[in-house]
Structure 1
Amino acid sequence: MNDFTLLYVEDNKIIQKIVKVILQTHFKEIYLANDGKEGVKLYQEKNPNIVLADISMPNMNGLDMISKIKKLNPNQKIALLTGYNNITYLNQAINMGVNKYILKPIQPKQMLDALQDIATSLKKEKDLEFASQHDELTGLMNRTLFHDKLKELIDNSTKLNKHVAIFSIDLNLFKSINDTYGHDAGDAVLKRVATNLLQSLRKDDIVARFGGDEFAVAIGFLKKHNHILGFLKRIEDSFLEPLLYIDNGIEYHIPISLSIGITFCSKQSNDISTQKLLKQSDKAMYMAKESKKMYKFFDSSEESSLQKKEKKAQEINRAIIENEFTLYYQPIIDIKSNKVVAFEAL
């Protein structure tokens, strides 16, 4: 329970003080309210993990307060303290979504057990939510959460007339690393990349792993585009030393290099979808790979050239599948011996 916060709503000051003493070592923080009206206000300010409330209170009773809180957050975890051992009250509380009810007079163990049950359930829910939004290997956010956070970052940045930089990041020769050193080494490389990216960013910046060796970063609140150069330099410096990987007592020094594509979003372009922005940064990343440079900025004038190459690659793949290619071998003859020494496939 120590990771969670609690809102405790009780009009009786003596009971309030006793309960706080019992609970204060079990919760990260406890917020106190004296009635339901004050409880709703404090709930909106503090957004506690668990609410513990008495039923009978002035101004607004516990059930009315719970009704208002449930409208604000239908999933809120609530425990109810009551002196009424009345089936009507209890059914009403259960129908409103109360998770536990604790009968007065308060028994410390009974109360702690009830709150522990709620905390255990809440932790399981939070763990499942985290797993659904984050990459299991690196702990970074996944593609879905990144898109949501990117929208927020763009909205907040463009309101202040600031820019957002979006980066598509891909590891070079990652398949070769897996093939040469094994998949455990590949995982170690991915973790190293995640760590270096996180350490190179500011608190409000966001980073994700989309899968495989694909990563994405967004940096907001930029006054000028060139303000990202510090981040790029930090990233470059962080991979100057190869990764030391030890397998069965043998040391391997695995070099890591990245290809990074960059695009920008400003107030004038904030109506562009996050999907399109990431497509732009992806295209810039492929241009960086092709040019053997660490990073490249998205340039719409180069987009048509890339599209032509993509189209040609698609046509070649289709032609291979449909057996439209015919293979010819041209002999290569040694002039001195007048013998065929090799063939060139055409």
Structure 2
Amino acid sequence: MKQGVFVIVQERISYMNQVCVDILDLDVKQYQDCHYSTAIAQWINKETAHCFKSLIDGNKTDIHTTAMIHTNPHEVIILDIYGHYVHSAVGPQVIGCITDVRQKGEQLTRSLKDLADMRYSIDQAAIVAITNRRGKITYVNNKFCEISGYTAEELIGQTHQIINSHYHSRDFFKELWRTIGLGKVWKGEIRNRRKDGSTYWVNTTIVPIKDENGQPYQYLAIRYDITDKKQNEEQVRYMAFYDHLTGLANRRMFDKCLKEAINKAKQRNIKFGIMFVDLDSFKYVNDTLGHVTGDKLLIAVGERFQQMVSKRGIVARFSGDEFAILIDQIDSYNELQQFAEAIIDDFKQPFLIEDYELNITGSIGIAAYPGGGEDPEAMMKHADLAMYYVKNEQKNDYQMFNMDMNDMSQRTFQIQNDLRKALEEEQFSLVYQPRVNPIDASIQSFEALIRWEHPEFGEISPSEFIPLAEEVGMINPIGTWVIRSVCRQISLWSSNGYDLIPVSINLSASQFMQAYFVHHFFQILQEFKVDPVWVQVEITESLLIENEKGVRDILQKLRDKSIKVALDDFGTGYSSLAYLRKFKVDILKIDRSLIKGISTQSSEKLIASTVIQLGKSLDMTVVAEGLEEKEEVEAVVQLGIDEVQGYYFSKPLRVGDMERMLQTKKCLTYM
């Protein structure tokens, strides 16, 4: 702001600047070197001249006064006047300063307007409250009232306890008050509660307003509504930590809770346990009743687990039909076994899904802390091993982890790791088991069966290494090796002058459903110049329901090339007899589970008779598998069986032991 300045030396006006001339509207020449008393009295008034006299006389060193003057008949201005006495070598001097107060007023007006504009802008965008030093609310804006549901009258005089949602801890608010009490700005996110009980989130900045001693005497709180942002964050968190179908914790959340449980157990020297539960044969529910029904079953299973666990731990769904349970703080490992038994017992009650009563069981693996592992990775690995032990043995049971399972795991890992080497180094071989007409012991065909002589473990059963080959993606290369080996052997038998007998090859679902399986299959036959009539394929009934249209198309292509198809292990799966009508297969192989006890139990004989007659009515050749006793053979012959296969007639033989069979086409080795 501009100031007019004049100087008095030896009681004369010795200097004035242009601002002074402009404010007072003076003619400089007229008043230069005038006596100060006359000049000031004429410029301003006699009272101001008298004030300056007290400086000239040395009675005061500073003066401050105001005056109102007329610069012209129509304009009045107010002057703010300062005077200061200075002693110099030439004698006393007085410096005078005058300011047009109108400029201050205009500046103040502008400042007030700026403040009003700022307040309006803040009120439109922010939630504003002012409290005194004790936290009593002294001011709220409309935004505060709108979001809280309270009127200004209801809020003023209250503390912010009126909107406390009790979400934050006492320590949270202690730290807030400590910060602003020290005169520092506090920033953070707070969840508040509306008058109707609902909650909202605000991003908050609290600014202390200080008195002349630098102490806070009131606090300005500026808040912004971030409820939508927090809800989005919560949704993202939910998606990250919870299963979208069942609402249970997912694997990430389970991992987090398991780490926390282990830390707590270490600190307090306590025990706890985890369980992995895999639903037995859930895949067939999906395949037969559809994924919608399957999803509803998973939800119902999760709810039942939740009811059983309640507040004792957490339930998680990992993926598909696999669940995990953490049981917090147990006194003994027996509690985990009792809990597993309770699950098995509870599952005896069917699940009512839509119009179905679904009976389902679970295989349960248990790992307890600390015996089952002292870190999350070990505990989860061991619970998983125990679960697979149950699943491979009998299902619908539970098993606590023990170190023998760990040894089994190491064996499993090595077998998986050695599969590719076994293929490259020709460790696999084939044996052949005849299918026989039980009336005259004539051989109708051979079934090619793979064997593996492992350099360390010796002979490994196909029931052990085939599932592992499927897991690691080696089943298709191994399957191709079997087809090529069979075709090579048929070609050798033909070259050696033997009359050929058909050979059947077992195909995995993965191999059978390959995009170019049929094309590759016939390429191999052509490579070894093998007529398709000498090759048969065997598939399992589970394959029929996994991709109905695709399977039907492949079967038709094989049939068109004179390849006979056998349905293996019938009676072990979950497909209905109606599937036999849908899919045209040539040979029906009845699993031993439907034959065992047929000679003594009338119920078993009735079931076997029904299946045999059904197969024959559909123009299938019906084969009884796994026959070991003479009485079993006699019983199935009475029921009209076409062919039999089993140790009663012959075990699987290596090529070198088959010469007589190939020459006579008779199975003469039976007991």
- TM-score range, shorter-chain basis? 0.5 to 0.7
Per the normalisation by structure 2, the TM-score is: 0.37
Structure 1 residues 168, 322: CA separation in 2 closer, same or farther (over 3 Å shift)? farther
* Structure 1 residues 14-65: Cα deviation after superposition (integer angstroms, max 9, x where no partner): 4379999876658xxx99569xxxx9xx9652659xxxx99xx97344x622
Q: 1:64 aligns with which of 185, 192, 198?
A: 185
Q: 1:238 aligns with which of 338, 346, 353?
A: 346
Residue matched to 2:358:
254
Per mean C-alpha deviation after superposition, the further-off stretch among 210-219 and 16-25 is: 16-25
Q: Distance in 2 between matches of 1:156 and 1:260?
A: 25
Secondary structure at the residue paired with 2:348? Answer: coil
Unaligned runs of 5+ in 1: 1-7, 71-75, 85-99, 103-113
Q: Post-superposition shift, 1:137?
A: 0.7
Asked which structure has the greater CA Rg, the reply is 2
Report the AA paired with residue 437 of structure 2.
Answer: D
Correspondence 1:137-152 to 2 at 5 A = 137-152=245-260
Mapping of 1:58-137 within 5 angstroms?
A: 59-61=181-183, 64-66=185-187, 77-80=202-205, 101=222, 114-115=224-225, 118-137=226-245
Show the counterpart of 1:343.
Answer: 446
SS in 2 for 1:307: helix
SS in 2 for 1:15: strand
Residue identity matched to 2:390: A
Equivalent residues in 2 for 1:166-185 (5 A)? 166-185=274-293
Q: Percent identity?
A: 27
Match of 1:91 in 2: none
- Please report how far the alpha carbon of residue 124 of structure 1 lies from its aligned counterpart in structure 2 after TM superposition: 1.1
Q: How does 1:175-324 map to 2 (within 5 A)?
A: 175-246=283-354, 251-266=355-370, 272-292=374-394, 293-309=396-412, 311-312=414-415, 315-316=418-419, 319=422
Q: 1:261 Cα shift?
A: 0.4
Aligned letter for 2:319? Answer: G
Paired position in structure 2 for 1:334: 437
The CA distance in 2 between the partners of 1:163 and 1:83, in whole Å, is 50
Per-residue deviation, 1:317:
7.2
The one-letter amino acid paired with 2:303 is T
Question: In the alignment, which residue of structure 2 is the partner of 1:111?
Answer: none
Amino acid at match of 1:45: R
1:165 and 1:321 map into 2 onto residues whose CA distance is 43
Contact 1:261 1:281 in 2 (8 A): yes
Alpha-carbon distance between aligned partners in 1 of 2:299 and 2:423, rounded to the nearest angstrom? 37
Measured on the aligned residues, the alpha-carbon RMSD in Å equals 4.1
- Separation of aligned partners in 1, 2:233 and 2:375: 31
Which deviates more, 280-289 or 218-227? 218-227
In 1: Cα distance, 2:424 partner to 2:297 partner: 35
Local SS of the residue matching 1:191? helix
Given that 1:9 and 1:33 are in contact with CA atoms closer than 8 Å, whether structure 2 keeps it comes out as: no
Q: Which amino acid aligns with 2:447?
A: E
Structure 1 pair 14–218 and aligned structure 2 pair: CA distance change class (3 A): closer
How many equivalent residue pairs? 283
Higher relative contact order (CA 8 A, sep 6+): 1
- Supply the distance in 1 between the matched residues of 2:313 and 2:186 (Cα, whole angstroms): 38
SS in 1 for 2:243: coil
